[in-house]
Amino acid sequence: MSRGASEATLMQPGNRGTHRGHGREVRAARRAAASARTLNILVKVAAVLSAAILLFIVIYILVMGVPHLSLDLFAPVYNSLNHSLFPALINTLLMIVLSLAIAFPLGLGSAIYLVEYTRRSNPFVRIIQLTAETLTGIPSIVYGLFGLLFFVTVLGWRMSLLSGSLTVAIMVLPVILRTSEEALKAVPDSYREGSFSLGAGRLRTVFRVLLPAAMPGIMAGIILSIGRIFGESAALIYTAGTVAALPTSVFDSTRTLSVHMYVLASEGLYIDQAYATAVVLLVIVVIINFISARVARRITKGAAHA
């Protein structure tokens, strides 16, 4: 075919429209590829910045705190000479145990009810979800004031381990509820259908099939809750107090590690001990997160083998 014939063919209305459509597709593909490359670069930059900031904070705490670690900081009794963090450490562990003993059954039970026993279009479920999300965003100082007014004043429990534990339990309850709910929703419906087809009831399906499969997500909520309890100070100052001694009952005033660190730093005379406390706090959080992750993997593997 001659060159003139080819040009005549391209000049036909149908062929010109096809050519323009192909050109638009090529340009759209190029723009999509450029957008994907730009997004990929931005995501990598954000990841690097996040890791760099976290690494800087960890290194700074270690550099400032490790040189001031000593055996006096782990003395059984706190006094003005050793500034021991040991009572605060034990109080923190007690606070975690009591708070999770209250919040975890309530949060997990509520999540099971919302996912497995109600319809997802139920308005009641939406109200609960909205309430949980709202409670998650409330500042901790508001929880502290509530605990001060209700547990400390109205119920007369004073500033105590019990008042602080209940206040923190209310704080972490929405976290456990929402993470457990999303973890249960992520379990495929085929697990439920297979269990029901074998004759298992709903309750047996929940505890023998769904919970083991959702355990990594549930443990993630527990880890987040433990981290928040470890780092909480504002609410506990108003509800648990600042007494640096081991409690003899749940109605005794206590001081957690974060409150202990805050008190040392606010006095302005024991900044080195405050940094050393921060190192211990950081190490304990890492250890607890590692143990929780291992437990979640063990449970998931056991469920898979079963």
In terms of Cβ atoms closer than 10 Å to its own Cβ (0-12, 13-18, 19+), residue 62 is middle
Q: What pLDDT score was predicted for residue 190? A: 87
Q: What pLDDT score was predicted for residue 303? A: 57
Q: How many whole angstroms separate alpha carbon 75 and alpha carbon 156?
A: 32
Q: How many whole angstroms separate alpha carbon 221 and alpha carbon 146?
A: 24
In eight-state DSSP terms, residue 288 is H
Give the amino acid at 176.
I
User: Which sign does the torsion angle of CA 224, 226, 232, 235 carry?
Assistant: positive
Residue 246 has φ and ψ, to the nearest 5°, of: -75, 135
* pLDDT tens digits in sequence order for the chain, 306 residues long: 455 545 444 455 555 555 565 667 777 778 888 888 888 999 999 999 999 999 999 999 999 998 888 888 888 888 878 888 889 999 999 999 999 999 999 999 999 998 888 877 778 888 888 888 888 888 889 999 999 999 999 998 999 999 999 999 999 999 999 999 999 988 888 888 888 888 888 888 888 888 888 888 888 888 888 888 888 888 999 999 888 888 888 999 998 988 988 888 887 778 888 899 889 888 888 888 788 778 777 766 665 555
Q: What pLDDT score was predicted for residue 22? A: 64
Alpha helices (runs of H) in the chain, residue ranges in sequence order: 3-11, 13-65, 86-116, 123-136, 140-147, 161-186, 189-197, 202-205, 211-231, 234-239, 257-267, 271-305
pTM value is 0.79
